[in-house]
Structure 1
Amino acid sequence: MDPQALADAVAYGTARGGSGLIVRSGYQVASWGSQTQLYDLKSTTKSIGSVLLGLAIKDGKVQLDTKVRPLLPEIDVTPTDSSTRSWLPLITVRHLATHTAGFEKTGGFGRLLFQPGTKWSYSDGGPNWLADLLTVLYASDLKTVLQKRVLGDLGVATSMLSWRKNIYRPTTLRGFLRREFGSGISASVDAMARIGLLVARDGRWRTKQILPPGYAAQVGTTPAALRDLPLYDPSKYPGAPEDYGFLWWNNSAGILAGVPGDAFWGWGLGDSFILVVPSRDLVVVRAGPAWNDSWGKLTTIQPFFAKVTGAAAG
């Protein structure tokens, strides 16, 4: 790392509050703020949910093009939107993981805004149906699955990460506690960095392959089918279909100037993030008070991402 450039990046993060941790080649090289405080990660929860999807694929429980409704008959739209119910059998796991299923923003029981696979629209409803699907496939509370199958191996104790119950849907599904991928996880930056490092290492932790080989590369790149999709609402997240993988944002279209094209990140309201840059062997995490007042703006994270990746250029 370039010492002065690294100090500049840390100063940028420190001045804006919260906590952060920078990991290069598997080693902690810098940090600021509390390393143990749990922060509400908001939509960064989606990216951690993607880890559970990878686990389910490795376990042979589901594939990206699996149709959802035969496995989860509970998937539905609001009673007032029954005219679009005929689209439900078309929904695949891939749709739920890429914001192309058509569900509106709400994390509860929402409408289908368009036929699955024809447009892109940022949603909590789609990822929450994905969480419901995995709950049914594992016949277990996903918090338990995450801790036993992933976090335990990473050295993430239960005191380092919590996951509240689903607040938008009934508490249980088929008798199991219901979690959500739209939001709900609180974690320390230490826990966040370990999850980021798992993804950076292609789903491998030391000698154990936790996720399918190649899955991490998939989540960090944009599927070809997404690149030409129109936005349902062009005023929101312009260019997003080119910049999104499987519940992770990415820089493949160069939306962040001065940041490597292979960078990808989980990102939540208030600017919690897990940034992974394979070409720099870099993982950077941050959580705490909001850096900006408008979710989806790039004007605050771009300078920091450019500074910290520039510090790791050597």
Structure 2
Amino acid sequence: MFKGLSLILLLLSFTVQAEQWPGEQWPVGARISGPAVEALETYAFPNRDDETRQGIRTDALLVIRDGQLIYERYAAPTTAVTPHLTWSISKSLMATVLGVAYGEGLFKLEDPAAKFYPALTRHPAITLADLLHWASGIDWQEDYEYAPLKSSVVAMLYTRGHRDMAAFTADHGTYAQPGQAFRYSSGDSNLLAAALKTIVGAQRYADYPWTALFEPLGIRNAVWETDATGTFVASSYVYLTARDLARIGLLMARDGRWNDRQLLPKDWVAFNREPFVGYKAHQDEAVPGGQWWLNRAADGAASPWPDAPADTFAALGHWGQALYVIPSEKLVIVRYADDRDGSYRHNELLRLALKAFAGTVQP
């Protein structure tokens, strides 16, 4: 009996020791090469005419498997120590910061957003869950370079709304009842950032992303810009190295646990990865969860990334920024980019990356 128990304890000890976590640096696994990796690189790093900015331009591609760095490549001027603009990946990062506050018991998903951001008096029925689902019902136009004159987000970031982005958003009218319809909105994300100021208190707010999330994960060089009111621009303006963004991916891949600490409650991570029920499949390429994007079938349509497992989810940003998390394959993939013509396809990169790196995790 004691001999059997000793064997079980030995096996458990081996399992704990085998789980890899980054310290100051990532543990490095065996590098993989061969035709599948070459095919991935041919897609991700093609020759491109930078004068016309046509075609795919990958600035960084990094792969973590089972907690180990197994692939990494950069294109100048980006390097392993370059904090890269993440664009709308910032939205998922704000959701992750909010998850720590949720774990502190500071708010509930069903709380009215106006409880924490009183400027939402025009929209008293909006809940924090509605904002997290991009389902506030606030009339918002998320147009970019192709339609700047009617774009709410361009006005918010660069012209009449840039000094106080949350107030600019709150002053918009309504197009639907809160929680009833999905409409992607950088304004919703910046309302979350404004609400966080009250949720954690003004004294903690300026340092909260660092004390709550970045420092526990070992992220040392994050930059998060604010507007003139000191509110974090949750929609757009976080800068991280590829290696540091991968730490966020590993946290999410392991259901909010970092080493022996449950940094995010499991039910928060589950909420992030649950599809919004009001989503219509024709509206976007991926399915919205709680400020994350999901590879889930919706409204009778096929999954958006058919060559990737159904549990794949991602944080996505303008011009091709992507953090892909594939728990079933123990993979985290970071891509930084400068894609300007819309030719990049998430499914194609995932298909090639899975062919190169999946299914070979050592026991």
Q: Structures share a fold, TM > 0.5? A: yes
Residues 112-151 of structure 1: per-residue CA shift (max 9 Å, x gap): 3222122111101111111100111112464511111211
Residues 78-106 of structure 1: per-residue CA shift (max 9 Å, x gap): xxxxxxx3xx1110001000110022143
**Where in structure 2 are the equivalents of 1:7-26 lying within 5 Å?**
7-15=38-46, 16-26=57-67
| 1:252 matched residue in structure 2 | 296
**Where in structure 2 are the equivalents of 1:1-314 lying within 5 Å?**
3-4=33-34, 5-15=36-46, 16-33=57-74, 34-75=79-120, 85=122, 88-103=123-138, 104=140, 105=142, 106=152, 107=156, 108=165, 109-110=168-169, 111=172, 112-140=174-202, 142=205, 144-157=207-220, 159=221, 161-166=222-227, 171-172=228-229, 177-223=230-276, 225-227=277-279, 237-238=283-284, 243-253=287-297, 254-290=303-339, 292-294=340-342, 299-311=344-356, 312-314=358-360
Report the alpha carbon displacement of residue 279 of structure 1 after superposing the two structures with TM.
0.6
After TM superposition, the score normalised by the length of structure 1 is 0.83
Residues 244-275 of structure 1: per-residue CA shift (max 9 Å, x gap): 10111111111112111110000000111110
Which consecutive residues of structure 1, in runs of 5 or more, have no partner in the other structure?
Answer: 77-84
User: Residues 58 and 335 of structure 2 are in contact (CA less than 8 Å); yes or no, is this contact kept in structure 1?
Assistant: no
User: Residues 221 and 252 of structure 1 are in contact (CA less than 8 Å); yes or no, is this contact kept in structure 2?
Assistant: no
Residues 149-208 of structure 1: per-residue CA shift (max 9 Å, x gap): 211111110x2x211112xxxx22xxxx21121111111101110111111111111111
Q: Measure the CA separation in 2 of the matches of 1:97 and 1:189.
A: 25
- The amino acid that maps onto 1:155 is G
User: Residues 220 and 263 of structure 1 are in contact (CA less than 8 Å); yes or no, is this contact kept in structure 2?
Assistant: no
* Greater gyration radius: 2
Q: CA RMSD in A?
A: 2.1
Report the alpha carbon displacement of residue 50 of structure 1 after superposing the two structures with TM.
0.8
Q: How many residues align?
A: 281
User: Residues 142 and 179 of structure 1 are in contact (CA less than 8 Å); yes or no, is this contact kept in structure 2?
Assistant: no
**1:74 alignment partner, SS class:** helix
Q: Measure the CA separation in 1 of the matches of 2:42 and 2:270.
A: 31
Q: Give % identity.
A: 26
Name whichever of 90-99 and 116-125 sits farther off: 116-125
**1:274 alignment partner, SS class:** strand
**2:63 alignment partner, SS class:** strand
